[in-house]
Structure 1
């Protein structure tokens, strides 16, 4: 075993001793209830609970039988997460827990919304103009508060609406409506054509068709089971409506691992069905004292299967250098699993998009209304939040899929992160892979649609999963599998020497993004390749059985391992090892986590979780503040919700919008 692995084992053992007194109780101690439901039951403040019942065989027959014996009121059957949604009293809940056919009972947690220059800043406008793309033929499911029955910007050349279907899981109505206004705003960011503003406030993919699934009520609240039911509907009807993307600008508190959470499970099934799931990270970036906090990612954004988007503040300009991650944007890591999130960030502050006249948001925030250019007032609304950032990415994905319909959900995610702009000095748990680069992502997707004759380097790109992520089909780590596609070549995209994203081409015409290419032609992103070619990005460099993932770092002696899983199963993330002492965020085989360790002697370890949910910070005064959430909090408490921002002014004095 190498020296750094011995030191890793030592650090893990030390943390285990320190945290031994605070290891969370096993699920068995609280019966079959999840943590959120257990907290409600112990508070004894409710006469009944809305729950999701999971049986041992996941069959509808068994679920019906269990509810009949317990006496609960069944509301619906879920498919993505096989279970029954029901309302039960405390006594009926006890009967369900005593039933040997019942595996678990989950609280049906509350969900809420997570709520100009965007097209220019991300390059989407240039991509549409230069490549002739609009998202035509691509369907996007907007799971939100609905979409207004009519808006000029959702017409097809002034006729009809590009809303192919409307499904109301809240009120059961058949005609499209949006009494809250959030879903309409999100829809405009994705697919508005800017008709009422002469194109000024057009969305990212103005040719896209939408399906609206209403899961939020007129106050922006809802239930997790309704979101799962909407995902079920989308999976079942994806072919009929050419659905390729789901936008989820809604979220729920994270109360368990993504492996058991019903909403995260449903999102995973959607990805396995070929749908790209884009979700908002949440707006829990600050605590009650206004301090930046970490660990506030919401569900299903805590799942590695989805693309989780944080909120970028463009400062009201089209320049990229002044863009910053919004203070309100939720930071990683995820609760329970400690996964690296968000995946990337996109513009989400002061976004001007469609207004649903008469809706709650329209009525409560008259100061945020924006008139159109055709005498139609008010046609638009300015909102901020990760809710607005997610549809910017969803629209970008629609353009990518139009450029290359063969892209898989995982390859879409890889391209988005591969082309994102990394910002030095910004915490990785705030920006993820970096700032969205729509033009780079669309161009790279288009390149893959016309592969060249070059041969992939199998040892780097075709043999191993990347990021330590889960294989979509199997659900378990499989180091021998390829997560993206067998024919993908990250380097040497073409012989014509086209430069994809803001970089310098080598003499051989190989692709280079933000870095320097070595003489052997291997691709390098965000760094400088060593002479021996050991610096690998989004791949695995294998020497026999000693396989090491290397991301975002320079390798001198092979010791810098970032955002990957080594062959022993120990994760080492975002750490630079000079003498092997610096270990940053990983999970050892026994489940003990080590996060943000900085001292040279290995003594500084930050962030563990005690049994009562309190954060343990041990070591430096530079310790980060972790998310102060608990299962007892309501959805509204969890998110800070979206917020209304004053309209940013571009440097030329005009009001900016989505272009």
Structure 2
């Protein structure tokens, strides 16, 4: 029994001592015979939530008794809490800047598909006219069929990437305005989402990549704990994405830049890691853009502007269906809103990669990093552990 208990995460052991809950949302990491544990969990009443095949993980709501039964199976390696991850952008009250792509660029992202795992996407006029940029929407939090966004963050990311700018006379058009997005809602109205919901979303995007010719994963969130099993799951799924020539892009995170602390998914391989600066001209690091401890570190790869960026607004009170009937949004009073955060840097780099892939669809992750590196500038000699190879210069990259 002692050996079996070692399969439980220490935090779960402590929780089960007092047993304050009827059910615990947990992730079950399997060594072998994944199907055996999946079948067993499915036999418990209302227990199974997801199976994440690429990571050999089953996600479930389990009672103490059910957890005690499962740890006796030799196929089970570890059982641990399903942790929250958090979005890396915030709306701000006012702004005097915006990020806009150069209208003279030769490329517009046509034909490139980007998967966004976020808080959803609002059917904003700039995303649905003149053509609908939202190829597919999937809500893994509440199961609603049609696009909506009760937080606004996902819509803001989509706007930076592919807004048509039709509501602003092209003033606030996206960088890759003719790219398309596939939106997975894995975060709630408060900007938090379970690790399992995010992993499930990424896996589903990868499994169906051929259907839409998916090339980019825009992942604008951070993990603030150091659960090694969850990190390993993200590492496995990033490796799987890259094996199919899909490029994951993540932020450094929101820890104060002076703390020199990178955590969670920003420490992983097989992804592009982006930090943020306040503007391309001044090159001042964004205070809530995490940095690595050493200047010899290989992350972040580079930096992009991430403050006071005007992008698409949402009606966060709009829900797209009721009792199975589709509902239509009201006209927005304010069509645009301003955001700051390293998630904006991720959206910008996702769009830049879309432009490069339109130019040459055979480019892989390392190719994209090399090309973007060549465009970077660092006139103020900012530390490498803060901005990597420098700040992306879009016009230099695509001239």
TM-score normalized with structure 1 length:
0.53
Segments of 5+ residues of structure 1 without an aligned counterpart are 1-27, 287-291, 315-319, 361-374, 444-659
Q: Which residue of 2 aligns with 1:222?
A: 193
Contact conserved, 2:98 with 2:310, CA < 8 A, in 1? no
Shift of 1:171: 1.1
Q: Using the alignment, how far apart are the partners of 1:302 and 1:224 within structure 2?
A: 16
Contact conserved, 2:33 with 2:75, CA < 8 A, in 1? no
Residue 307 (structure 1) aligned to one of 272, 280, 294: 272
Shift of 1:145: 0.8
Shift of 1:63: 3.3
Contact conserved, 2:283 with 2:378, CA < 8 A, in 1? no
Shift of 1:393: 0.5
Shift of 1:164: 0.7
Segments of 5+ residues of structure 2 without an aligned counterpart are 90-96, 319-330
Residue 158 (structure 2) aligned to one of 164, 184, 187: 187
Shift of 1:395: 0.3
Q: Which residue of 2 aligns with 1:563?
A: none
> Which aligned pairs between 1:58-137 and structure 2 lie closer than 5 A?
59-65=34-40, 67=41, 73-115=47-89, 117-119=98-100, 124-125=101-102, 129-130=104-105, 132-137=106-111
From the CA coordinates, give the structure whose radius of gyration is larger: 1
Cα deviation per residue 1:570-603 (whole Å; 9 max; x = unaligned)?
A: xxxxxxxxxxxxxxxxxxxxxxxxxxxxxxxxxx
Q: Which residue of 1 aligns with 2:262?
A: 296
Q: Which residue of 2 aligns with 1:231?
A: 202
TM-score normalized with structure 2 length:
0.85
Partner SS state of residue 164, structure 1: strand
Contact conserved, 2:115 with 2:216, CA < 8 A, in 1? yes
Cα deviation per residue 1:504-535 (whole Å; 9 max; x = unaligned)?
A: xxxxxxxxxxxxxxxxxxxxxxxxxxxxxxxx
Contact conserved, 1:34 with 1:256, CA < 8 A, in 2? no
After superposition, the Cα gap between the structure-2 partners of 1:69 and 1:79, relative to the gap in structure 1 and judged at 3 Å, is closer
Q: Using the alignment, how far apart are the partners of 1:425 and 1:45 within structure 2?
A: 53
Q: Which residue of 1 aligns with 2:127?
A: 154
Shift of 1:190: 0.6
Q: Using the alignment, how far apart are the partners of 1:45 and 1:283 within structure 2?
A: 32
Q: Which residue of 2 aligns with 1:50?
A: 25
Q: Which residue of 1 aligns with 2:94?
A: none
Tell me how many residue pairs correspond in the alignment.
377
> Which aligned pairs between 1:490-509 and structure 2 lie closer than 5 A?
none
Contact conserved, 2:46 with 2:61, CA < 8 A, in 1? yes
Q: Which residue of 2 aligns with 1:433?
A: 389
Shift of 1:418: 3.9
Contact conserved, 2:195 with 2:230, CA < 8 A, in 1? no
Q: Using the alignment, how far apart are the partners of 2:392 and 2:14 within structure 1?
A: 39
Contact conserved, 1:344 with 1:432, CA < 8 A, in 2? yes
Shift of 1:56: 1.5
Residue 397 (structure 1) aligned to one of 353, 358, 361: 353
Shift of 1:153: 1.2
Shift of 1:419: 3.0
Q: Does 2:304 correspond to 1:346?
A: yes
Q: Using the alignment, how far apart are the partners of 1:50 and 1:280 within structure 2?
A: 27
Deviates further, 192-201 or 31-40: 31-40
Q: Does 2:382 correspond to 1:419?
A: no
Shift of 1:152: 1.9
Shift of 1:188: 0.2
Contact conserved, 1:396 with 1:442, CA < 8 A, in 2? no
Q: Using the alignment, how far apart are the partners of 1:392 and 1:380 within structure 2?
A: 17
Q: Which residue of 2 aligns with 1:323?
A: 283
Q: Which residue of 2 aligns with 1:383?
A: 339
After superposition, the Cα gap between the structure-2 partners of 1:260 and 1:203, relative to the gap in structure 1 and judged at 3 Å, is closer
Shift of 1:94: 3.7
Partner SS state of residue 118, structure 1: coil
Contact conserved, 1:297 with 1:342, CA < 8 A, in 2? no
Q: Using the alignment, how far apart are the partners of 1:29 and 1:434 within structure 2?
A: 49
After superposition, the Cα gap between the structure-2 partners of 1:103 and 1:145, relative to the gap in structure 1 and judged at 3 Å, is same
Shift of 1:118: 2.9
Could you say which structure has the greater relative contact order, defined with CA pairs below 8 angstroms and 6 or more residues apart? Answer: 2
Q: Which residue of 1 aligns with 2:325?
A: none
After superposition, the Cα gap between the structure-2 partners of 1:259 and 1:83, relative to the gap in structure 1 and judged at 3 Å, is closer
Q: Which residue of 1 aligns with 2:244?
A: 273
After superposition, the Cα gap between the structure-2 partners of 1:328 and 1:247, relative to the gap in structure 1 and judged at 3 Å, is same
Partner SS state of residue 261, structure 1: helix
Q: Using the alignment, how far apart are the partners of 1:421 and 1:48 within structure 2?
A: 52
Q: Using the alignment, how far apart are the partners of 1:63 and 1:258 within structure 2?
A: 18
Partner SS state of residue 187, structure 1: helix
Q: Using the alignment, how far apart are the partners of 1:259 and 1:421 within structure 2?
A: 35
Contact conserved, 2:99 with 2:310, CA < 8 A, in 1? no
Q: Does 2:322 correspond to 1:356?
A: no
> Which aligned pairs between 1:204-223 and structure 2 lie closer than 5 A?
204-223=175-194
Q: Which residue of 2 aligns with 1:141?
A: 115
